[in-house]
Amino acid sequence: MFLVRHGQSEWNAQGRWQGQADPPLSDAGRQEAELAAESLRDFTGHFFASSLLRALQTAEVISAAVSDGTVMLCHDLREIDVGDFSGLTHHEIAERMPDAWAALQAGRLEAFPSGETREHFRLRVLGAIESLWGRHPDDEIFVVTHGGAIAAIERHLGAHPGVGVRNLEGRWFEAKGSSLEVVSDRVKLVPDQES
């Protein structure tokens, strides 16, 4: 299973936190998805996406270029609900919610104000991955999701490299019996882009 972050959204371009808000891809994000499709011409598995528009649109562009365009949705692979951070820039969050911003920067924020806890998010994402594997145990699966979802799995497996996931960057995972394992380092499907 290859999990990859979506292309640039309109809010990524503006530096706004999204969480479960649903802005579409920017023009640059569509171009990123088209470039990613070029490196995936040999992929023959199933395409899945988070139900948020930026992930779905990325998956649709790629699937249409390398397959029949079919993309199945996986609601539980949505990004973490960032609550009151949603729609704000880093500066606006630091100004309006300095304690929460400081806790986030120090790695101590366990729940976003009016949002989701990190533990709930981790369990939701892991459950979604296990469900996909249960339905397609012998197939390759390409999943367009979010940086937070990929990072949550990496942290769960002790494989997080300490930096965020870039646009159209992802990682291969494999189910071995009842456990999930990391198969590769992160893979960039397009040259570095600003997120």
- Kindly list the catalytic residues: 6, 79
How far apart (Å, rounded) are the C-alpha atoms in residues 176 and 182?
Answer: 10
